Amino acid sequence: MDNTPITAGDTFDEAIARTVSELVELGCAAAHRLLVLHAAGVSRTGRGVLLIGPGGAGKTTLAAALNAEGFGLLGDDVVPVNLDGHLLGLGMNLCLKAGSWPALAPWLPDLDRAPLIERAGQPVRFSPPPGPLTRGPVPVGAFLFPRYQPGSEPALQPLEPVAVLREIVMAEPVISTLDAERLNTLTDWVSSAPAFALTYAHLDQALALTERALAASDFPTRDQGTC
């Protein structure tokens, strides 16, 4: 690279946020991927778990707690998917919104010491992952669609591949090219692993439901090494 700045900002916070965004974009390399998902990703026993959903669904909060429980972290908001359907990790810090801080306090006791900046008009903390990082590539072992709903009963619902594809589209993935070959690959990919909608009101419920989903997906109960 030359000495040309890749990003700038009118304030220090804006410069940091835009720099992080540029680094994520470079890491994703969307033109060379099957797609780039608006999702969080973790891994265990050499397989990835995708947490897919729109902003506010709770995927970043759940990924942070799972990472603290020993899952490898692929990413908290963006996960690139290779042309062969394998997931890649970006090796970035967690970006946690203010609403998640109280819920994550038992898992990230030092979160209040993490750098605080303003991003997209709201305060966020950039926290080092409490657990291991996963660089990948790893195959997907389960698709999870978390939905944080205060006051709701915890629920775990299996999803058919057509519903998985619909949810992925609603989460606004980045797909640089969608020719017939890639469409067939994408269709096969969403059918390659079990999928579940996961509704919860408290983070401990989400962790328990995630373990139930992974047990149904034939994941071993303990990690035997992070990729």
- Residue 28 confidence (pLDDT) above 50: no
- 184: tokens are 């067939």
- 97: tokens are 């919104």
Rg (CA), the chain: 17
Q: Give the pLDDT confidence score for residue 197 in this predicted structure.
A: 95
3-state DSSP assignment of residue 9: coil
* Average pLDDT estimate for 6-33: 46
CA pair distance 176, 196, nearest whole angstrom: 27
Question: How would DSSP label each residue in 69-121?
Answer: TTPEEEESSEEEE-TTSEE------EEEEGGGHHHHTTT-TTGGGS-EEEETT
* Average pLDDT estimate for 218-226: 60
Global pTM value: 0.81
* Least confident residue range of 18-27, 83-92, 99-108, 213-222: 18-27
Q: Give the pLDDT confidence score for residue 19 in this predicted structure.
A: 38
Q: Give the pLDDT confidence score for residue 77 in this predicted structure.
A: 86
- Residue 212 confidence (pLDDT) above 80: yes
- Residue 121 confidence (pLDDT) above 90: no
Average pLDDT in the chain: 81
Which domains, from first to last, does the chain contain? 33-92+132-216 (3.90.228.20)
